[in-house]
Structure 1
Amino acid sequence: MGEIHENKMHKLTIAGGHKDRFFIANQYGESIIIKQTNLNEMVAYEKIFNSKSSDPRFRENQVLKNFLPKYYGVQELEAPSIYQDDSLSKDNIPILLENLLADKPNASILDLKMGTSSLSLKKRAKHDVERIKLKDSMTTTKTLGFRVTGYIIKDSNGNTLEKVVKPHGKIKAEQIPIILQKLLSFQNDQNGINSEAIEYLKSQISKMIKYFQNIHSRQMQCSSLFIIIDNLNRKYDIKIVDLSSCQDFKSLEERDTGFIFGLTNLLAILQTL
């Protein structure tokens, strides 16, 4: 197994997540990351990326793949294990994903937790459920269908100007347009906001809304939108990440209304910039 190291790309990837679950291995280069995840997320990626034409969700999966980082399967481990635990378990599975930051060295990023509830599939004690519900009520989760879980703003030289991680309850609805403006603005020059990047985001989010309203039949509980804006190199991306609490609805006609609510409100904010 290649040497594992944490580099700048790794640190950016986890602006709003769990840094101890992401690695870059030399044998893959910087285009692929290893994510240590649970069985549910691995199964979700397998279903989406490796579905057969006979699968009733085959058409849905073909579209959904466009909104996710590329999935390259489960890493084959060689002893000794590089991970925190000595053996694999259902909560310790190394999957290989596209490194969305590999070709965007100066990218500013924004991580948005989507939906109107952040309760995961994990069984929890009653007091934990109440604590999570209280946290949701203190953020924009209920009112906008998403909340900011982290962001990094960089200047045109790739230097970090601002970094915020897990600001639970501190970022209000009126601050979100300001954060988006920072994300989408050219830094250290007079060019102002990047209209090309705004149009890209609006176009991609509109496609997501159409898909979620008409085809998507899964609940993307606790998933995030990962927005990447490299204003200097004019490279942009927006992907859905974290499928650890993703589950299929019983009916192909059921829709994830919380995710749709969040996408719709995010698009409305972008249209005001």
Structure 2
Amino acid sequence: MVKMSSEHQVMDSSLSSLGRLSQQDGGLCGAGLEKKLQVGLEKHLNGCVPLSHQVAGHKFGVDKVGILQHPDGTVLKQLQPPPRGPREMHFYKKVYTADSGDPSLLNLQHYLPKYYGTWSSPDAPTDLYLKLEDVTRKFSKPCIMDVKIGQRSYDPFASQEKREQQIKKYPLMEEIGFLVLGMRVYQVNSDTYDTYDQHYGRGLVKETIREGVAKFFDNGESLRKDAVVASMQKVQKILQWFEGQSQLHFYASSLLFVYEGFPRHGAPQPPGDVPPGGTTMMMTMATAGGDAGDLKERVLECNNNMCQVGLRENGHLAAALGQSLSNMYALHSRGCPLEHHVEDPQWKCPARAALEQSNGNGAKTQQDTADGTRGSVDVEVRMIDFAHVFPSNTRDEGYIYGLKNLLSVLQQIVDQYGLKTETI
């Protein structure tokens, strides 16, 4: 059973309460309520669903929409209120502009999720979302870690109250240079995920930071040595970029680590008709002999867990979605600039999207596997969250400091477990 963070437990309790209130209102109950709520969800979100494998940041809940998955496989990040949202959108546009001749920005594209413009639901055209690559999409059992990088998580224009608030959250940020915001680690022996939230990361100090990060590479049977070494290679590439640029400073930005948790030997393969991690909302038969009723009762949410979620089993969540969706949109639409829906044509064709090659920072790397043999390991390390990026004429020493300290911790893990690093 996947461990639930305190944040998830609070959200689950709130959603259950909303579900009970919804059942008392209007005289609907059982399957009728479920069907109406499901139709309402698909109508308002145009087929999008809450991102199931998110480990940090704004998550889907009662008072905020959070991150969504589009049926075409992309990730939708709702624009934050000004100035943060417009600033992040401007950053992506600047990096991905078609006529950019800046070699530094062109190189930076290798370390970011691909950007496909903006998206909005037909029912809420003023609520803009950044349309981004789902870095985890190609993985069957993605192990994910979100690490905030830098010596401070507030920007130079933050109020004194905001500065004090951020420092209080993690007083060791300046000394350690990074903060683990969340982790999701696949456990081979139980076919479940261990999850760790921001409270876990904030509890790590200098004496425990190595063991804390090492948990991300522990699959319940062994330490994923190949993933450690490959992750170091990716971080070093990003460090090289930062050491060679002096036009941007990044605050409260993170690195997203992803590696494949699926065992290499003797493991069942993902279904051939659905790309690993492919995202869509479709109906499926629970068993080969299921009838039409069974088909309507089960919904296969093809997220990165490839897990089945029944409407009856998750009825309280569906109730909360139908009840509070319009309120969520209203809350987040304030101050968002208007921009017409822009969508990359290739994402209209899921088959073509599945064939797209990964960024240069996500290529398979030959490393020593856990059993000592040579093999390939899929590892992604991408920079995310750019609501606090500012122009500069100096190197971003705070971010560089964080990257070096993170590399030092990864090297300590390598040394502790006697891993080979000659390929780094």
Number of matched pairs: 245
User: Does structure 2 retain, via aligned residues, the 8 Å contact 1:112–1:225?
Assistant: yes
Partner of 2:398, secondary structure, is helix
The counterpart of 2:182, out of the listed 133, 145, 150, is 150
User: Which of the numbers 225, 228, 253 marks the counterpart of 2:258?
Assistant: 228
1:84 paired residue number? none
TM-score by length of 1: 0.81
1:186-265 mapped onto 2 (5 Å cutoff): 186-187=219-220, 189=221, 192-232=222-262, 234-249=377-392, 251=393, 254-265=394-405
Partner of 2:56: 16
Check if 1:46 corresponds to 2:93. Answer: yes
Structure 1 CA distance for aligned equivalents of residues 141 and 237 of structure 2: 26
Letter in 1 for 2:406: L
Distance change in 2, residues 1:261/1:242 (3 Å): same
Amino acid at match of 2:236: S
1:146-173 C-alpha deviation (Å, 9 max, x unpaired): 1111112221264112332344642223
Q: Which residue of 2 aligns with 1:80?
A: 123
Matched residues in 2 for 1:73 and 1:133: separation? 34
**Take 2:128 and 2:89, find their aligned partners in 1: how far apart are those partners?**
8
Unpaired stretches in structure 2, ≥5 consecutive residues:
1-44, 60-64, 80-84, 264-376, 414-424
In structure 1, the partner of 2:27 is none
Q: Compute the displacement of 1:69 (Å).
A: 0.7
Equivalent of residue 106 in structure 1, options 127, 141, 144: 141
2:98 and 2:105 map into 1 onto residues whose CA distance is 7
Q: CA deviation at 1:53?
A: 4.2
Letter in 1 for 2:391: D
In the alignment, the residues of structure 1 paired with residue 193 and residue 201 of structure 2 have an alpha-carbon distance, to the nearest angstrom, of 21
- Residue 65 of structure 1 corresponds to 109
**Structure 1 pair 12–267 and aligned structure 2 pair: CA distance change class (3 A):** same
Query: Alpha-carbon deviation of 1:232?
Result: 2.2
Give 1:270 shift: 0.9
1:171 pairs with 2:196: no
- Classify 1:224/1:105 alpha carbon distance in 2 versus 1 (closer, same or farther; 3 Å): same
Q: Which residue of 1 aligns with 2:334?
A: none
Tell me which residue corresponds to 2:168: 134
Structure 1 runs (4+) deviating above 3 angstroms are 120-124, 165-169
Q: Which residue is 2:349 aligned to? A: none
TM-score of the two chains, using structure 2 as the length reference: 0.54
Distance in 2, matches of 1:117 and 1:109, equals: 23
Say if 1:226 and 1:195 are closer, same or farther in 2 by CA, change over 3 A: same
CA RMSD of aligned residues (A): 2.2
Aligned to 1:184: 217
- Residues 27-77 of structure 1: CA distance to partner in whole angstroms, max 9, x if unpaired? x2x2x11111211100000000116345xxx111111111111111112x3
Contact kept? 1:212, 1:260, Cα under 8 Å: yes
Aligned-pair identity in percent equals 21
**Larger radius of gyration, structure 1 or 2?**
2
When residues 53 and 47 of structure 1 are mapped into structure 2, their CA distance, relative to the original with a 3 A threshold, is closer
The gaps in structure 1 that reach 5 residues or longer are 82-86
Residue-by-residue CA offset, 1:73-114 (whole Å, 9 max, x unaligned): 112x35311xxxxx63xxx53111011111223122211111
SS at match of 2:197: strand
Task: Measure the CA separation in 1 of the matches of 2:157 and 2:75.
Answer: 25
Q: Quickly say closer, same or farther: Cα 1:25–1:221, change in 2 above 3 A.
A: same
Compared CA separation, residues 170 and 63, structure 1 to 2 (3 A): same
